[in-house]
Amino acid sequence: MAEYNIVVLPGDGIGAEVTESAVNVLKAAAKQHGFSINLESHDIGGTSYDSHGTPATDETLNACKSADAVFLGAVGGPKWDHLTGAHRPESGLLGLRKAMGVYANLRPVTIYPGLEKYSPLKENRLEGVDVLVVRELTGGLYFGQPKGESKDENGKRRAVDTMAYDEDEIRRIAHRGFDMARKRRGKIASVDKANVLSSSRLWRDVVNEVAEEYSDVELEHILVDNCAMQLINRPADFDVILTENMFGDILSDEAAMLSGSIGLLPSASLGDGNGLYEPVHGSAPDIAGKNIANPLAAIQSIAMMLRYTLNEAEAADAIEKAIEEVICQGYRCADLADKDDTVLGTTEMTSKVIEVMSKAKTVAS
Pairing outcome for strands 218-223 and 187-192: parallel
244 binds Mg ion (CB under 5 A): no
Q: Which 16-75 positions form the footprint of ligand IPM (CB under 6 A)?
A: 75
- 341 annotated active-site: no
Binds ligand IPM by CB under 6 A, chosen from 16, 50, 54, 90: 90
Distance in Å, CB of 52 to Mg ion, minimum: 25
Nearest-angstrom CA–CA distance, 27 and 31: 6
Distance in Å, CB of 317 to ligand IPM, minimum: 25
Residue 14's binding partner among Mg ion, ligand IPM, none (Cβ under 5 to 8 angstroms by kind) is none
249 binds Mg ion (CB under 5 A): yes
280 binds ligand IPM (CB under 6 A): yes
- 193 annotated active-site: yes
Q: Which distant-in-sequence residues (6+ apart) come within 8 Å of 339 by Cβ?
A: none
**Exposed e or buried b per residue across 148-177, where buried means at least 16 C-beta atoms within 10 angstroms of its C-beta:** eeeeeeeeeeeeeeebbbeeebbebbbebb
13 binds ligand IPM (CB under 6 A): no
Give the dihedral sign, CA 96/100/105/106: negative
Residue with smaller CB distance to Mg ion, 132 or 319? 132
Nearest-angstrom CA–CA distance, 142 and 250: 13
76 binds ligand IPM (CB under 6 A): yes
Please answer whether residues 217 and 185 qualify as being in contact, where contact means their C-beta atoms are separated by less than 8 angstroms: no
Distance in Å, CB of 55 to Mg ion, minimum: 17
Nearest-angstrom CA–CA distance, 258 and 113: 13
Residue with smaller CB distance to ligand IPM, 312 or 335? 335
Give the dihedral sign, CA 181/184/188/191: negative
* N-to-C CA span, the chain: 19
Residue range at the interface with Mg ion (CB under 5 A); choices 79-87, 147-155, 210-218, 247-255? 247-255
Residue 90's binding partner among ligand IPM, Mg ion, none (Cβ under 5 to 8 angstroms by kind) is ligand IPM
* Active-site annotation holder among 118, 142, 165, 331: 142
Residue with smaller CB distance to ligand IPM, 69 or 72? 72
Residue range at the interface with Mg ion (CB under 5 A); choices 19-27, 83-91, 248-256, 323-331? 248-256
Residue 115's binding partner among ligand IPM, Mg ion, none (Cβ under 5 to 8 angstroms by kind) is none
Q: Which distant-in-sequence residues (6+ apart) come within 8 Å of 153 by Cβ?
A: none
Q: Which 249-268 positions form the footprint of ligand IPM (CB under 6 A)?
A: 249
Q: Which residue is nearest to ligand IPM (CB)?
A: 90
136 binds Mg ion (CB under 5 A): no
* Active-site annotation holder among 12, 43, 239, 249: 249
Distance in Å, CB of 35 to Mg ion, minimum: 31
139: Cα within 13 Å, side-chain hemisphere: 20
Please answer whether residues 100 and 274 qualify as being in contact, where contact means their C-beta atoms are separated by less than 8 angstroms: yes
Q: Which distant-in-sequence residues (6+ apart) come within 8 Å of 111 by Cβ?
A: 119, 126, 129, 130, 258, 259
Q: Which distant-in-sequence residues (6+ apart) come within 8 Å of 177 by Cβ?
A: 134, 188, 190, 240, 242
- 68 annotated active-site: no
Count the residues of the shown chain that bind Mg ion, applying the rule CB under 5 A: 1
Q: Where on the chain is the footprint of ligand IPM (CB under 6 A)?
A: 75-76, 90, 93, 249, 280, 282
Contact positions toward Mg ion, by CB under 5 A?
249
Question: Annotated active-site positions, please?
Answer: 142, 193, 225, 249, 253
